[in-house]
Amino acid sequence: RGLFSEMGIWHDNFVAQAVCFMSPVKVQPLEEGSQTSELERSAAMAGGNLFARYASFIDVFFAKKFHRIGLAVGTRPKTSLALSFLFMIVCCGGISQLNGESRSDKLWIPQGTRAQEDESEYTKYFPPATRLTSMLLESKTGSLLDKASLQAALNLHWEIEAVNTTAENADGKLVDDTLRSLCILQPGRGHPCFVNSVLEAWDYDRAKLSADMNPLDTLNAMGKSKADLARMLGGATFDASGKVTGAKAMTMTYFMMMNRVRNGGGYEDPRGAMWEEKVLEVLRCDTPVCEKDVCACGYESENFKVYGQTTRSFSDVFGAAIGGDVGLINGAFLLMIVYLILNLGGLCHKVNSRALLAFGCTLSIVAAGVSGYGLAMYLGFDYTPAHSILPFVIIGIGVDDSFVIMNAFDRTDPKKPVPERIADTLAHAGVSIMVTSLTDFVAFAISVSSALPALSSFCMYAAFCVLVLLFFQITMFTAFAAMDATRVNANRIDCCFCLPRGCLCCPVVPKEDAAKAVEEGKKDPNQMLCCAQPKHSGGNIGRFLEHVVAPQLVKKPVAATVLFVFTAICAISVWQMTLLSIEDTQRKFIPDDSYLSATINTNDKYFGSSGTRFDIVTVPGDYFSSQKALVDIGPRLGKLDYIVPISADSFSSWAAEFKFACATGNVMGMPVTTDSDGLVTTKAQYYSVLNAWLKGSGGRYAKSVIWASAADPQQGIAASKMAAELKSVNKEVGDRVLPDAVFAVKALDGIRATCDSWSDLPGGKAVPYSYEFLSWETFKIIDVQMYGSTAQCLAAVLVITLATLGHPTAAGLVFICVLMTIIDILGFMQVWGLAIDSVTVIQLVIAVGLSVDYAAHVAHNFMTQVGSKPERMIKTMGDVGSAVLCGGISTFLGVMLLVLSKSYVFRVLFQTFFLTVVLGLAHGLILLPVLLNLVGPPSYHAADEVVVAEVVVAEKAEKTTEIGEEIGAKESDWKVAKHEDALPTLPCSKSGLAAREKQQEPTLTAEGSPDPEVRTPSGKGKQ
């Protein structure tokens, strides 16, 4: 019997090792009567052995590293905190290199593009020199061209004339300014300043207007064309002869000199800004009057409403909107902290609650943000207004990581010392947060290559913040967790941990007394409120996910329904995604209830069909030889179908006007000789006469021609410009007027191609330029930037998850979930009325980073579980599901109040974060578990069990020999003991081998003899 027993045990071990060697997953024993053998099942799974071994190697490697780090942090938490804060202080030194950038052309305009080159060429000769102050007057009743309304408008003009301000000039001296000291001079239009208004018909003279018995006749006698009047009068009506008969609105525009100086990353013009501030006070735009969400300036007039706008208006209104949201932002952060307190440990227990740890979590996130900002500033990256949304991103990622860490800590053995518990925590959770953080870091780092400077700078700041956040979660937050666990072991109250027995109002009952009360069936005396601590380590949320949600997801009908619904939503989102339009975002930054928004909307109402003015710039060259080409610019442009027909109103050309002046043979008292085409025949005469004409009757074009030498015209012309007009590129979208991106890009490319073909011009080319062209350049690449950056981020997700999770199936499933999440976000953006613009591009990159967290944590936890796929999926939902869900909820709470924001940036932040959280959690906690249950990879520990079995088999052989010898020695006294099945539940695991050893030891009866009934190694019959 001893020999047979020894042979049976050896047979048992060899079967176990063979099964382990052929399969990377745990093998379960079969019930009696099963038709499938263990070897058949193992053979079917043997194909994934290589990947499983690699995945196990990756997991064990990082787990060991994090275990050592956790042991060090848990042993010396104060030292870890000190080093972390020291690192933060060093990083904060970068803040001294802060360089803010707020110029829109340096943030949202693609760098290195044709538009940038053209602007550089233009500003080299024609630097910005104009500030605009405009007023749109809308009649309250009837026409605005009656005498009373015109007189009221003229009175408003004289109130503007009376504005007097004091500000510093470029030399730092205080100077007094008025309209006439700051305006661009252009006499001959009824006013010494360049003022565009129909009031010039009366030379801005109150007496002339008062004496005029028929203002309409005077207005029609100005000599303005119908098109020119339509630019100054809104809702104008004309009779059959083309004479104006009435108008609903009129504009008054003042062209002021630009006296700006560079200040850091932007410009400032204190003299112009101060004068505009006083003008806005006269118009009372700071106290608008609103009717049905339309807010006009508060200027009081019985005849009209006033809508004002100045150069400083945009920055004023946008800054006020951001400042007004400070309360919402603080409220959102407060909600997040409260949620952290309630979910990290709750407030149900005096000792076991974690209110202080929640503040420690917040502190570690803030420290990571400050350090990340400092590192980016060390490298010279500009701080932009777009960075105002970065704190929400860092909080969302940081809180999610904190929940994962504490969820792992709660599952460690409470009997172990705190350092060992911290080490075990990081060995499990450290790998998980490393996967998500590295993926986020690489995704953001890749997007630094974007052509949009604002996106590039934002992603660099985000990349550093995410990297430092990973470091601080391990060294700072984990140190706080170790100190908190030490406090719990010492039975100290949470809020007053320095007091051994708690505070007077809330004393702590010693552990022994509390345990005794619980044993007697009484309430824990340290429990507070009416709530009790949840028994499930994942809290009530974890219990719900594990015992309610997960068991339903493993059912095939439910899984099929889930796959169908998510696939259908994704397909619909793909369709909606193709309908996304490209829009200009500049006006979206303006709050809906501001006076500036009402001004822009009212201007669109009356002048939305007006064209876009642009300049044709000619560069240095032989202007005398290019006279004909210069004169022909107008007719050449007129052949393009997107150019307003050439006329005196739509096209301004110094060359054509000079030719007309030369036709008389005498210009400014100087004789001039022309050929049959009306062109000057002598080079010296051409330049000298042109110079005299520009100083005299052609003075309105004086700033359109830049001489190589102002003292010597014979050195030629350095540059010149002519103005033309594009047809309106606007289109109506609902109740809004927005640029048609497709038409704008077509017109821009057509104008450039035409100008590039004019080789007979001076310098062999012409440069078309308008400030609007910078925005249109963005239209050309914004969709490419968005989809390109997103594709790069998704590729980073696949590569990093493959390298860190270690198994292609796990990485592939995470990638599929993130990809579907992004597609769904794009689809719902279209449904929600959002468009492709500079703000949504940044938000989409953020969405990739956040959605990775929801999926990667689940996939990694699934890889660490053992058992069948359904068992592993259910355990995963109960283990990490609660942490992922709590992290998503905290992210949503962090932006929830921003739905009330008046700022477009924060409203879009709320919309995209809402979509990211809802869709990311849905894919991470519903779709991914279903996929893992169906096609999930084997566990990390499956491959480990193979290695363990191969190492232990020699030891087993030695032990079984000893058992055989012992059986032979006591054979006469033994009775055969009763055994369990020959194959234990886990034949390859350490616990399984230990169980087998225990099963293989004979059981003696009370008399010391063996039990006569013992199963054979096959588990059947009696020996």
Distance between CA atoms of 526 and 509, rounded to whole angstroms?
6
* Torsion on CA atoms 804, 942, 419, 79, rounded to nearest 10: -20
Phi-psi region of 116 (alpha: psi -120 to 50; beta: other; left: phi over 0): alpha
> Is pLDDT at 306 greater than 70 in this prediction?
yes
Listed in sequence order, the DSSP H helices in 76-146 are 77-92, 104-107, 114-125
> Is pLDDT at 620 greater than 90 in this prediction?
yes
Listed residue (15, 25, 16) closest to 48, CA to CA: 25
Strands 612-618, 304-310: pairing kind: unpaired
Q: How confident is the model at residue 500 (pLDDT cuts 50, 70, 90)?
A: low
The per-residue pLDDT for 156 is 95
Give percent above pLDDT 90 in the chain. Answer: 36
Q: 90 - beta bridge partners?
A: none
The per-residue pLDDT for 531 is 59
Ranges 190-204, 302-316, 385-399, 960-974: which has the least confidence: 960-974
User: Of the segments 508-522, 629-643, 735-749, 887-901, which one has the largest average pLDDT value?
Assistant: 629-643
In tens, the pLDDT along 803-843 reads 888 889 999 999 999 999 999 999 999 999 888 887 888 88
Distance between CA atoms of 41 and 170, rounded to whole angstroms?
85
Residues 730 and 741 sit within 8 Å (Cβ to Cβ): no
The per-residue pLDDT for 983 is 36
> Is pLDDT at 1001 greater than 50 in this prediction?
no
Q: Count each helix (H run) and each strand (E run) in the chain, helices first.
A: 38, 23
The per-residue pLDDT for 585 is 66
Mean pLDDT along residues 150-178: 90
* Torsion on CA atoms 299, 303, 307, 312, rounded to nearest 10: -50
Ranges 275-289, 300-314, 532-546, 620-634: which has the least confidence: 532-546
In tens, the pLDDT along 664-697 reads 877 888 888 888 888 999 999 999 999 999 988 8
The per-residue pLDDT for 1008 is 40
The per-residue pLDDT for 390 is 86
Phi-psi region of 142 (alpha: psi -120 to 50; beta: other; left: phi over 0): left
What distances in angstroms separate CA 91 from CA 84, 366, 371, 457, one per listed residue?
Answer: 11, 13, 5, 17
User: 587 vs 710, which has greater pLDDT?
Assistant: 710
> Is pLDDT at 853 greater than 90 in this prediction?
no
> Is pLDDT at 916 greater than 50 in this prediction?
yes
In tens, the pLDDT along 545-559 reads 988 999 999 999 999
Mean pLDDT over all residues of the chain?
Answer: 81
The per-residue pLDDT for 171 is 76
Q: How confident is the model at residue 263 (pLDDT cuts 50, 70, 90)?
A: low
Tell me how many degrees the CA angle 572-578-579 measures, rounded to the nearest 5.
95
Distance between CA atoms of 827 and 822, rounded to whole angstroms?
9
| Three-class secondary structure of residue 646 per DSSP | coil
Ranges 294-298, 500-504, 987-991, 1019-1023: which has the least confidence: 1019-1023
> Is pLDDT at 15 greater than 70 in this prediction?
no
Q: How confident is the model at residue 987 (pLDDT cuts 50, 70, 90)?
A: very low
Burial class (CB in 10 A: 0-12, 13-18, 19+), 930: buried
Q: How confident is the model at residue 32 (pLDDT cuts 50, 70, 90)?
A: very low
Residues 398 and 473 sit within 8 Å (Cβ to Cβ): yes
> Is pLDDT at 998 greater than 70 in this prediction?
no
In tens, the pLDDT along 783-804 reads 888 888 888 889 888 998 888 8
The per-residue pLDDT for 568 is 96
Residues 624 and 655 sit within 8 Å (Cβ to Cβ): no
> Is pLDDT at 7 greater than 50 in this prediction?
no
In tens, the pLDDT along 344-397 reads 766 677 777 888 888 899 899 999 999 999 999 998 888 887 787 888 888 888
pTM of the model: 0.74
Provide, for the chain, the percentages of residues in helix, strand and coil under a 3-state DSSP scheme, each rounded to the nearest 5. Answer: 60, 10, 30
Q: How confident is the model at residue 262 (pLDDT cuts 50, 70, 90)?
A: low
The per-residue pLDDT for 972 is 40
> Is pLDDT at 931 greater than 80 in this prediction?
yes
Give me the residue label for tokens 């704008």.
744
In tens, the pLDDT along 69-113 reads 999 999 999 999 999 999 999 999 988 888 877 666 677 777 778
User: 335 vs 459, which has greater pLDDT?
Assistant: 459
Q: How confident is the model at residue 4 (pLDDT cuts 50, 70, 90)?
A: very low
Mean pLDDT along residues 470-476: 95
| Three-class secondary structure of residue 724 per DSSP | strand
The per-residue pLDDT for 410 is 87
Residues 593 and 324 sit within 8 Å (Cβ to Cβ): no
| Three-class secondary structure of residue 1006 per DSSP | coil
> Is pLDDT at 644 greater than 80 in this prediction?
yes
Structure tokens at 950: 């191969």
